[in-house]
Every structure is written in structure tokens, then in C-alpha cells.
């Protein structure tokens, strides 16, 4: 596999990072050395993902509940990342919402 760009000393937030694509993105960031705050609507999944990535990649990782439809919760997660990780350089908007309206392509 190609060598990754070093993100050592960088701090990242990944929304929807407890599973699926979000967890894969968080894993690659951790592999590159970034410390993480993983937000997910399911706090248990976020906490488990954070623990796994911290142990596997020797980075700091925090798992927290985050509902991306709640601006206050998103702002609180950003504040927590800054307070506990010492800053924030990377934000990945992976989580999405699907309004209950027709959708055409």
C-alpha cells in the first residue's frame, strides 16, 4: 500500500464515524496519525470505534453522541475536540440525514 501523508499532531472530527464509511474514514485518519473525535448518533458505536482506533493506531480518540440535525450538538462536539484534543484542523461531514420527502434523480 502507498505510504500515507503524515497527520501526526493533527486533530480530526468524523461525523457518523461509528460504523461503515465513517468508521473507515476515521481509521485511515488514525492510521496517518491524526487524533480523533468520532461522533455518531449511537454513542456506543462511537465509543467502541474510538477505543479500537486508539489501541490499533496509538492515537488519542474520543467517541461521543452527535446528532448532525442538532446544531448545538455539533458545536458542542467541535468545542469538545478543541478542549480535549488541543485543537481541530480536519472536519469530515460523513453523516447525513434523509428528510421524509420524495427524492428524484
Share of the chain above pLDDT 70, in %: 92
Going by pLDDT thresholds of 50, 70 and 90, the confidence category of residue 101 is: confident
Q: State the chain's mean pLDDT as an integer.
A: 93
SS3 70: coil
The grid cell for 1 is 500500500
Residue 40: enclosing H or E segment and its boundaries? strand 35-40
Q: What is the pTM of this model?
A: 0.89
Say if residues 80 and 60 touch (Cβ distance below 8 Å). Answer: no
Which of 1.20.970.10, 3.40.50.720, 3.40.190.10, 3.30.10.20 is the CATH number of 11-92? Answer: 3.40.50.720
Residue 79: enclosing H or E segment and its boundaries? helix 71-85
The pLDDT of residue 76: 96
SS3 content of the chain, % helix, strand, coil (to 5): 40, 20, 40
Residue 20 has pLDDT above 90, yes or no: yes
Amino acid at each position: 500500500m502507498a505510504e500515507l501523508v503524515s497527520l501526526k499532531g493533527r486533530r480530526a472530527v468524523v461525523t457518523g464515524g461509528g460504523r461503515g464509511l465513517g468508521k473507515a474514514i476515521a481509521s485511515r485518519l488514525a492510521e496517518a496519525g491524526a487524533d480523533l473525535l468520532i461522533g455518531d448518533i449511537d454513542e456506543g458505536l462511537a465509543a467502541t470505534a474510538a477505543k479500537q482506533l486508539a489501541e490499533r493506531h496509538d492515537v488519542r480518540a474520543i467517541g461521543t453522541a452527535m446528532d448532525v440535525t442538532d446544531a448545538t450538538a455539533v458545536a458542542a462536539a467541535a468545542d469538545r475536540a478543541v478542549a480535549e484534543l488541543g485543537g481541530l484542523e480536519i472536519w469530515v461531514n460523513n453523516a447525513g440525514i434523509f428528510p421524509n420527502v420524495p427524492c428524484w434523480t
